[in-house]
Structure 1
Amino acid sequence: MEDTLVIIPAHNEESTIELVVKDLRSNGYYNILVVDDCSVDSTAKLAKNTGVKVMSLPYNLGAWKATQAGLRYAHKTNTKFAITFDADQQHLAKEIYKLHRYQQNEKLNIAIGSCLSRGSLARHVAWKFFRTLSGVKVQDLTSGLRMYDKKAIEVLSRKEASLLEYQDVGVLLLLRTFDISKGEVNVKMHDRTVGISRIFYSWWAVLYYMSYTTVLCLSKLAKTNKLISSEVKE
């Protein structure tokens, strides 16, 4: 599937990165870019040994900005579709076809792989809270398994997207601003066996995430209300 680039943001994933690449290849995905987010282990070396493309970042930028670096590469190379895929073996390559099929059938800019059975109580509380606050009708807000078409790739390559910290509500709010269509399809995922979630590894991390995203949602809501008010006055 040469028209599809699989982007894998990776930070200290030496125990899984080769297995993830092997899984993708065994399911027909050979156009793969590993974005090494300044790992201090052998992630980049092992990825290069598999023969895939590797982009090594000079600083640890976090999962979203590493993902955006990959999306910018996709935009620069005029890639038709980009799949974002986790490096920790939670995502299953055999499930990607569901995103392809759903996106094509529904004519969407984005297809999101949704797995509501995963995650802690904190994750589900956060999802429900931000669905209500943001108005974003996506059930699995933090899923990193997504398929973007060229229009969505172009939007997420912009400098506005660089201001975001997570690939969740903020990204979805930005995409809504540019009239990007999206939908969810149910997929299977493995439970995380190594490493920790950047957001949900502790209640303090959850508190920071919720505070950050709440401010983001409220600022977006305020901007929308101001725009509506101006239109009414006119």
Structure 2
Amino acid sequence: MLVVIPAHNEEDTIQDVIHDLKSHGYNDILVVDDASSDNTALFAKKLDVKVMSLPYNLGAWKATQAGVQYARKRNYTSLITFDADKQHLASQIKKLVHCQKLTKSNLVIGSCPSRGSLSRRIAWKLFRGLSGVKVNDLTSGFRLYDRFAIEVLSKKEASLLEYQDVGVLLMLKTFDIAKAETDVDMHRRESGISRIFYSWWAVLYYMGYTTMLCLSKIAKKTHLLPEKIKEV
């Protein structure tokens, strides 16, 4: 199992995150350095983990997908996506693994709804209704993907997405990916800012972008419905 850590300017926390993972026996780690301007990549390399340095900043999801594609090319059967800001805890990975073994799901989401701010909870409620994706913690980046999910998320279509949450979940839903959700503990962010919820402008952009994704999915289903009825 590979642990993929997308990281942009996380020199203050990346070493602690890697130490936490290694102390729990997770040594197969890939840090995807998203064109950091600080010492994120250097500090990670000093701790003897794999580092993929991107030539320019792509954003959290595309950096994550670079790690997903790495896993596919090297025939990993599963991977964990893990944040670099110390919110995610290595001790909680076993919960995702246990849930996957129990449910045989292709995707397991580590859920911690209590961390959500008011704006985050409003967004979650709206997009659960629009998308039909019944996930409590839509923006959690703490996930386990199996081989099938890795294959799907390595596709070119996934490169068009901007966020790991609703868009990715909608794409996986299209491919009949079985998902599960399990409660995990998380820490509060110790450094950096949320790419989505750091300002109301960012929230508005995120909500507009994700709403369009949801509506396009609904429109596609509506367009296909008469054909399906005719076939029946």
Report the TM range for the smaller structure's normalisation. over 0.9
What residue is the counterpart of 2:181 in the other structure? Answer: 184
**1:173 counterpart letter in structure 2:** L
**1:31 counterpart letter in structure 2:** D
What residue is the counterpart of 2:84 in the other structure? Answer: 87
**2:162 counterpart letter in structure 1:** E
Shift of 1:119: 2.3
1:102-117 equivalence runs, <5 A = 102-117=99-114
What residue is the counterpart of 2:6 in the other structure? Answer: 9
- Could you give the per-residue CA deviations for residues 93-145 of structure 1, whole angstroms, max 9, x where no partner exists? 00000000001011110110000110210000000000001000001000000
1:4-83 equivalence runs, <5 A = 4-83=1-80
The percentage of aligned residue pairs carrying the same residue is 68
TM-score (structure 1 length as normaliser): 0.98
Aligned CA-pair RMSD: 0.6
CA distance in 2, matches of 1:224, 1:158: 21
CA distance in 1, matches of 2:172, 2:98: 21
**2:215 counterpart letter in structure 1:** L
Q: Helix, strand or coil for the counterpart of 1:117? A: helix
TM-score (structure 2 length as normaliser): 0.98
Shift of 1:229: 1.9
Mind listing any 5+ residue stretches in structure 2 that lack a counterpart? none
**2:26 counterpart letter in structure 1:** Y
> Which stretches of structure 1, 4 residues or longer, exceed 4 Å deviation after superposition?
none
CA distance in 1, matches of 2:8, 2:118: 25
**1:127 counterpart letter in structure 2:** W
What residue is the counterpart of 1:123 in the other structure? Answer: 120
**1:219 counterpart letter in structure 2:** S
Q: Helix, strand or coil for the counterpart of 1:216? A: helix
CA distance in 1, matches of 2:77, 2:145: 9
What residue is the counterpart of 1:99 in the other structure? Answer: 96
Tell me the matched-pair count. 231
**2:17 counterpart letter in structure 1:** V
Shifted more, 218-227 versus 10-19: the winner is 218-227
Shifted more, 125-134 versus 218-227: the winner is 218-227
Mind listing any 5+ residue stretches in structure 1 that lack a counterpart? none
Q: Helix, strand or coil for the counterpart of 1:194? A: coil
User: Which of the residues 167, 170, 178 maps onto 2:167?
Assistant: 170
1:202-217 equivalence runs, <5 A = 202-217=199-214
Q: Helix, strand or coil for the counterpart of 1:51? A: coil
- Could you give the per-residue CA deviations for residues 177-221 of structure 1, whole angstroms, max 9, x where no partner exists? 111000100000001121100001111111000000000100111
**1:37 counterpart letter in structure 2:** D
**1:166 counterpart letter in structure 2:** Y
Q: Helix, strand or coil for the counterpart of 1:184? A: strand
